[in-house]
Amino acid sequence: MAIDYSKLTKKKLEELGRENGIELDRRKSKAVLIEELETYLKECVCGKTEDPNGLCDGSHNKCETESAYPTTPPEKFAFRGATDHCKCYDENHQVAKFADTAENRKFAQYHSAQLVAEEDYFIAVR
């Protein structure tokens, strides 16, 4: 059963975020907090989660399915592009491609970006 985040207070949203490894800023609007939380806490991609709501608990990082794309963020990177559509580039000056993992989502969130689905991979955009 999915949680109706709109019924939670900003303080409860912040607490829920902390419990799940994301720091939310209550100075932002409730709608923005909900969007950030929903982006971070999405359904598990491999289904191997112990969370009763089916949310990702990071166990898909340990599942047997392999990704052709990095499951961890690049060590050297840069965000470049127009201010409204700035993409993450790797050290080879190519758009960095990511697997959808909790670690990559934390990387994107830390850099005020989000993972955006492309063909069979994700890119970080802010």
- Using CA atoms, how far apart are residues 118 and 20, in angstroms rounded to an integer? 26
What does the block give as tokens for 48?
A: 């191997």
Burial 40-77 (b: 16+ CB within 10 A, else e): bbeebeeeebeeeeebbbeebbeeeeeeebbeebbeee
pLDDT, position 65: 47
- What lies within 8 Å, CB to CB, of 73 at 6+ separation is 96, 98, 103, 104, 107
pLDDT, position 57: 59
The pTM of the full predicted model, rounded to 2 decimals, is 0.49
pLDDT, position 9: 93
Q: Where are the chain's structural domains? A: 67-126
Strands 77-80 and 122-125 come out as unpaired
pLDDT, position 10: 93
CA angle 82, 17, 51 (to 5 degrees): 115
